[in-house]
Structure 1
Amino acid sequence: MRVAIAGAGAVGRSIARELIQNGHQVLLIDKEPRSIRQDRVPDAEWLLADSCELASLTEARLDRCDVVIAATGDDKANLVTALLAKTEFGVPRTVGRVNHPNNEWLFTEAWGVDVNVSTPRIMSALVEEAVSVGDLVRLFTFRQGNANLVELTLPGDSPYVGTPAGLIPFPENCALVTILRDGQVYVPTAEQPIEAGDELLFVAPSEVEEELERLLAPGSHGG
């Protein structure tokens, strides 16, 4: 997969290193000469250019990219980069970094952003996930599918402790995708029982989240 990253600061370089380690081709773009530090990510391609300019993105051959990540420290630049990538070059997948939480509402498909990544929201979700038992915590939103990745730690008084996953009447369009238990990751099967303290990861639309909470943790949510 070929990935272009706009913003070659610490965040952009870190993303690039991870992607290269996973076997992907990476192009780093930045308009600041001091950010072009090829020694930091020697296996990446580098381009000194402004990702908000159409000519620069043409030079970068964005039409050949599978993903564009707008990871600069400027929300306006990230929005313009994502919009140009999507509308002018038909990039299949765009990811936008949200620097200021008040701007998160702008990072939608209307601005060419398929997925937005908000550091404040992620940190808040991780804190909630670490301390909450029986409460549903939203970790991530999938823009195209109108669904969320959510987590619930199963309380000891859940009526489904010890019940095989296939026998639990989960809400419609809700899928249990992973069970985290004792530091291990389990791919759930119909025969796999869920246990107290399990961290359950679901993909579910927003409208069934409360129903899911009431189902698995009725003691906390009046189910």
Structure 2
Amino acid sequence: MRVAIAGAGAVGRSIARELIENGHQVLLIDKSPSSIRPERVPNAEWLLADSCELSSLAEAQLGKCDVVIAATGDDKANLVTSLLAKTEFGVPRTVGRVNHPNNEWLFTEAWGVDVNVSTPRIMSALVEEAVSIGDLVRLFTFRQGNANLVEITLSPDSPFVGTPAGLVPFPENCALVTILRDGQVYTPEAEQPLESGDELLFVVPAEVETELEQLLSPGHHPG
């Protein structure tokens, strides 16, 4: 997979290193000469250019990229880069970094952003996930599917402790994708009983999140 990353700062370089380790081709783009440091990610391609300019993206051959990641420290630049990548070069997948939480609402398909990554939101979600038992915590939003990745830690008083996963009447279009238990990752099986303290990860539409949370809460009585 070929990936272009706009922004060769600490965030962009870290992403590049991980992608390269996973066998992908990476191009780092930055308009600041001081940021062009090939020795820091020697296996990446480097381009001194402004990702907000159409000519620069054409020079980068963005049309040959499978993914474009707009990872600069400037939200306006990330939006413009994503929009140009999607509308002018038809890049299949765009990821936009949100630096300021007040701008998160802009990072949508209307601006060419398939997935937005908001560091403040992720950090707050991780804090909530660490301290919340029985409460639904939204971890990630899938823009194209109008669905969210959510987590619920099963309370000891949940009515479904000890119930096989296949017998729990989860809401329609709600998918249990992973059970985290005792430091292990389990693929849910219909006959596998749920246990107190299980971290349950679901992909679920936003409109049924409340129903899911109420279903697994201690106050729910199975019909």
TM-score range (shorter-chain normalised) is over 0.9
Shift of the alpha carbon at 1:163? 1.0
The one-letter code of the counterpart of 1:139 is L
Q: How many residues align?
A: 222
> Within 1, Cα distance between the matches of 2:221 and 2:108?
34
Shift of the alpha carbon at 1:218? 3.6
Structure-2 residue corresponding to 1:69: 69
Structure-1 residue corresponding to 2:58: 58
Shift of the alpha carbon at 1:194? 1.1
> Within 2, Cα distance between the matches of 1:160 and 1:215?
9
Structure-2 residue corresponding to 1:95: 95
| TM-score for the superposition, normalised by structure 1 | 0.98
Structure-1 residue corresponding to 2:196: 196
Structure-1 residue corresponding to 2:121: 121
> Within 1, Cα distance between the matches of 2:218 and 2:110?
38
Contact 2:174 2:202 in 1 (8 A): yes
The one-letter code of the counterpart of 1:213 is E
Q: Secondary structure at the match of 2:91?
A: coil
The one-letter code of the counterpart of 1:129 is E
**Which moved further from structure 2: 210-219 or 1-10?**
210-219
| Runs of at least 5 residues in structure 2 that lack an aligned partner in the other structure | none
> Within 2, Cα distance between the matches of 1:33 and 1:41?
15
Structure-1 residue corresponding to 2:163: 163
The one-letter code of the counterpart of 1:105 is W
Shift of the alpha carbon at 1:192? 1.5
Shift of the alpha carbon at 1:141? 0.3
The one-letter code of the counterpart of 1:201 is L
| TM-score for the superposition, normalised by structure 2 | 0.98
Runs of 4+ aligned structure 1 residues displaced above 4 Å come to none
- Cα deviation 1:78-134 (Å, max 9, x = unaligned): 000000000000000000000000000000000000000000000000000000000
Q: Secondary structure at the match of 1:204?
A: strand
Structure-1 residue corresponding to 2:213: 213
Contact 2:159 2:221 in 1 (8 A): no
| Runs of at least 5 residues in structure 1 that lack an aligned partner in the other structure | none
Identity in percent: 87
- Cα deviation 1:121-161 (Å, max 9, x = unaligned): 00000000000000000000000000000000000011110
Relative distance call for 1:169 and 1:222 in structure 2 (3 A) is: closer
Q: Secondary structure at the match of 2:40?
A: coil
- Cα deviation 1:63-90 (Å, max 9, x = unaligned): 0000000000000000000000000000
